[in-house]
Chain A
């Protein structure tokens, strides 16, 4: 599914230079469930952004579905993000002025799904994460766990093969966390590939493989 060779990411220059990622080699196969762990500031989110084609590495090679990402232009990257990747952000990144179902609709808008179908699919997705009753609420009117589930429903909107989640249970209590975990396991069973950043031992225990980042390097590749 994805393959990385000698990926480096450097932020800033001179005195404020930060080497967030150093010589990362990583491969994730179809239908793998990878847990990404490591202390705060170790570069987990940075790596996730590169995997999700939201950012580009400073150097190194990144292949997505066998193709070098370097060869893709702005629009092709947008298409990959739209069709192949579902991203659940650490801080949700929901549009504050749109309702839950409108948020879930967004990826489908750019896919070109017709309005009517879009709405019914969005409601279906919200139902699958147990939020049918909150469809017309705005993010400000939802709890942290509910927002997290809206974000998850949105990530699933175009049925992407790769699902990336940055601390999906970080702000949740154990019960809500377990619900999210159940959804992930279900997705995995359906054949999706999952990369999940987590501090939650329940999730890392279920993952097929754990990748541990320390100071921008992978310490342990394989369970």
Chain B
């Protein structure tokens, strides 16, 4: 009953003081909206960047051969060190910290034919763990290379997303046969779309992967182009890296302190740096969001304060007619509360709509990567709405409280 009465009062105020109340609600909604949208897109961008960083593989380490720069046990410096396939077995057996490991060899400009279409493309030969190491995940109806393919030297191929499109267009590829350098291969899978912003020898979506054993029967490489592993525990990566270095230095007889005998590309290191950059961006967004919040807060507080102040005379009249402090406060508190709730909700709703709209917008290319994946944080949404609501509420109630505590004549004199 009481609540209903307050709403009736508010409705009457709304009718009569439409402009003031609408303005306050709009200010509140806009403040909430700008902050939530700003932070949503910031967070979305951040996650997008993190994801594409992982496009090459999360926490992996890539090992290349090198050239010795120090003499060791009677051997001169300048010796070329090259990795071999049996290194994979050796490392897996001797270093327990290694989780996944695979060799990778590649060839450029292979003739690839399907039907009448003939292209010149890249082929890599790998082990099955390559799928997880490098994020070569198949689309629903396909699979990646497995142990049986390796064992039987099967002529099967896993196609990168873009390569498949070039070769097959929209047509289904899995189960079809293609010719690679005139040798028939069965397509067993097509890669899921992925974003990748760090790479070597071109984007993964342009490559075709075949079993390492099959690759060797065709090309017969003596050495590995590179070797990829991932530690079981990423926090132990430094130790594993040292173990790998030591083990290979024994096998290839070079000084374990010789930094140039092998080359490492350590994504873990890279990620640490990127994480700091992301942290920097997040702090920056936080500061901008905070400043926007302050600006919005000041705006809302100002409107509420001025309108609260403007109504001093009204308060004086009511007090002269017998309103007690609590009558005045109850009216102002409920009004400020209703305004805060409507404004905050409207702002949240508006940001929600805009964010959802961007998600379905048909954006292409880089703009899509940056804009099309905003992430709304419930915490930020509620925090923003609550802070603005409370600020507006206090700013609205404060002058009313003052007026209600003074003599009616003082309030009445206010024009």
Which residues of A come within 8 Å of B, CB atoms?
A: 49, 52, 54-56, 74-75, 78-79, 81-83, 87, 89, 93-95, 97-98, 102, 106-107, 109-111, 115, 154, 158
Among listed B161-169, B235-243, B407-415, interface-contacting one? B407-415
Among listed B265-273, B284-292, B323-331, interface-contacting one? B323-331
**Given contacts A49-B409, A75-B324, A110-B324, are A95 and B319 in contact (CB under 8 A)?**
no
Pair B327/A110 contact, Cβ less than 8 Å? yes
B318 interface residue (CB < 8 Å to A): yes
Pair B409/A106 contact, Cβ less than 8 Å? no
Pair B322/A83 contact, Cβ less than 8 Å? yes
B17 interface residue (CB < 8 Å to A): yes
Interface of B is mostly: helix
Which A residues touch B124, using CB under 8 A?
Answer: none
Alpha-carbon distance A49/B318, docked complex (angstroms): 15
Alpha-carbon distance A163/B13, docked complex (angstroms): 30
Pair B412/A54 contact, Cβ less than 8 Å? yes
Q: How far is the CB of B376 from chain A (nearest CB, A)?
A: 39
**Given contacts A75-B325, A98-B16, A110-B327, are A87 and B320 in contact (CB under 8 A)?**
yes
Please count how many residues in chain B sit with their CB below 8 Å of the partner chain's CB atoms: 23
Which B residues touch A158, using CB under 8 A?
Answer: 322
Alpha-carbon distance A26/B107, docked complex (angstroms): 114
Alpha-carbon distance A78/B407, docked complex (angstroms): 10
Pair A111/B412 contact, Cβ less than 8 Å? no
Pair B318/A106 contact, Cβ less than 8 Å? yes
Q: How far is the CB of A215 from chain B (nearest CB, A)?
A: 21
Q: How far is the CB of A83 from chain B (nearest CB, A)?
A: 7
Q: How far is the CB of A99 from chain B (nearest CB, A)?
A: 10
Identity of the chain B residue whose Cβ is nearest the Cβ of A115 in the assembled complex? B5
Which of B316, B318, B320, B324 is within 8 Å of A74, CB to CB? B324
**Given contacts A54-B407, A54-B409, A55-B407, are A106 and B16 in contact (CB under 8 A)?**
no
The 3 closest A-B pairs by CB, nearest first: A82-B322, A97-B16, A110-B322
Interface of A is mostly: helix
Alpha-carbon distance A102/B57, docked complex (angstroms): 73
Q: How far is the CB of A40 from chain B (nearest CB, A)?
A: 17
**Given contacts A49-B409, A55-B407, A93-B412, are A78 and B317 in contact (CB under 8 A)?**
no
Residues 163-180 of B contacting A (Cβ, < 8 Å): none
Which residues of B come within 8 Å of A, CB atoms?
A: 5, 12-13, 16-17, 313-314, 316-325, 327, 405, 407-409, 412
Pair A54/B322 contact, Cβ less than 8 Å? no
Alpha-carbon distance A154/B319, docked complex (angstroms): 14
Identity of the chain A residue whose Cβ is nearest the Cβ of B327 in the assembled complex? A110
Which of B16, B320, B412 is within 8 Å of A81, CB to CB? B320
Identity of the chain A residue whose Cβ is nearest the Cβ of B8 in the assembled complex? A115
Which B residues touch A83, using CB under 8 A?
Answer: 322
Which B residues touch A95, using CB under 8 A?
Answer: 314, 317
Alpha-carbon distance A64/B324, docked complex (angstroms): 19
Alpha-carbon distance A158/B323, docked complex (angstroms): 13
Alpha-carbon distance A160/B133, docked complex (angstroms): 89
Which of B13, B322, B325, B405 is within 8 Å of A107, CB to CB? B322
**Given contacts A95-B317, A97-B17, A98-B16, are A78 and B323 in contact (CB under 8 A)?**
yes
Which B residues touch A94, using CB under 8 A?
Answer: 317
Identity of the chain A residue whose Cβ is nearest the Cβ of B323 in the assembled complex? A110
Which A residues touch B412, using CB under 8 A?
Answer: 54, 89, 93
Question: Which residue, B13, B17, B320, B322, has most C-beta atoms of chain A within 10 A?
Answer: B322
Q: How far is the CB of A199 from chain B (nearest CB, A)?
A: 22
Q: How far is the CB of A56 from chain B (nearest CB, A)?
A: 7
Which B residues touch A54, using CB under 8 A?
Answer: 320, 407-409, 412
Pair B325/A74 contact, Cβ less than 8 Å? yes
Alpha-carbon distance A87/B324, docked complex (angstroms): 16
Pair A55/B324 contact, Cβ less than 8 Å? no
